[in-house]
Amino acid sequence: MKVALVQFEPVFGDRDRNVGRLIRLCRQNPADLYVLPELAYTGYQFVSAEETRSLADDLESPRIDAFRAAAKDMDAAIVFGFPELSGASVYNASLAVLPDGRSYLYRKTHLFYKENLYFSPGDTGFFVFEFRGARVGLAICFDWFFPESFRTLALKGADIVAHCSNLVLPYCQRADFAAAVQNRIFIATANRVGSEQREDETLTFTGESVLVSPRGEYLLYGPEDGETVLVAEIDPEEARDKSVNRYNDVLAMRRTDMYSL
Ligand code: ACM
């Protein structure tokens, strides 16, 4: 399976143009599974609940349809982050759209910083779906900070986590090494680049999108700056062997009787 990380810099609020550019980048770089950043086509730094709501999309939106159509046309799966409008709530969500018409919605479990002001906490929980022989799990950015996120996905059978990100802290790209090795899974962190200045605050995103193997190899490592699409071939089966040696299996030997918190 070919995995693509789409490192991207959206123009804040320019949703249609950003969607067009993202789909064009995917089309130019053939792969089976594309992972795009968190809030991939809106930008990140909302300054009010009204603004967040005004840029959010429900699942019937023409922008979501554009990704669905691209997935079908390219015969590939696309996972992208977006602000999801659902009734009175707005979620920081990611959607996996598959060429056969299936789609899977994940709502971010662990909201970061001012996201807590503008988004509802996710309520979908962690889950896994099958695509082209791989079991794919979804997580969004700050979810990485909580080891339970990737561990839960591994326990549910994920081979690879599509991790849509807008990282501003300097840790995740290195922390992915530990999470991939501890859970024996592939982690695909697609990060954005550039800075956003909104009102009195500037946030700079760290780039360096990474794909890490169950053995801790960095199969892809993007630049700090600049839009790019990085593609690598993986064998999802590599994530099915959880043994460190013949006596240690990282999932089977968990001492849940000792973990009481
Ligand atoms: C983040 O969760 N966007 C850092």
pLDDT at 132: 98
The answer to whether the CB of 172 is under 6 A from ligand 1 is: no
For residues 14 and 103, give the distance between their C-alpha atoms in angstroms, rounded to a whole number.
24
Residue 109 has pLDDT above 90, yes or no: yes
Q: What is the pTM of this model?
A: 0.98
Q: What is the mean pLDDT of residues 80-88?
A: 98
The answer to whether the CB of 119 is under 6 A from ligand 1 is: no
Known catalytic membership, residue 164: no
194 contacts 227 by C-beta, under 8 angstroms: no
Spatial CA neighbour of 194 closest among 160, 220, 161, 168: 168
Cα-to-chain-centroid distance, residue 82: 11
Show the tokens assigned to 104: 């899977």
123 contacts 219 by C-beta, under 8 angstroms: no
Write the pLDDT tens digit of every residue in 3-16: 999 999 999 999 99
Residue among 39, 92, 149, 168 whose CB has most ligand 1 atoms within 8 A, to mutate? 168
For residues 137 and 187, give the distance between their C-alpha atoms in angstroms, rounded to a whole number.
10
Residue nearest to atom 2 of ligand 1 (CA): 142
Show the tokens assigned to 55: 């840029």
The answer to whether the CB of 166 is under 6 A from ligand 1 is: yes
The answer to whether the CB of 141 is under 6 A from ligand 1 is: yes
Known catalytic membership, residue 38: yes
CATH number at residue 173: 3.60.110.10
Residue 260 has pLDDT above 90, yes or no: no
Which domain does 32 fall in, by range?
Answer: 2-258
Write the pLDDT tens digit of every residue in 22-74: 999 999 999 999 999 999 999 999 999 999 999 999 999 999 999 999 999 99
Name the E strands within the chain: 2-7, 33-35, 77-86, 89-97, 103-107, 128-131, 134-140, 160-164, 186-190, 195-198, 201-204, 210-212, 218-221, 228-233, 243-245, 248-249
| DSSP of 233-247 | E--GGGGG--EEETT
Whose tokens are 């609020």? That residue is 13
Residue 131 has pLDDT above 90, yes or no: yes
User: Structurally, how many domains does the chain consist of?
Assistant: 1
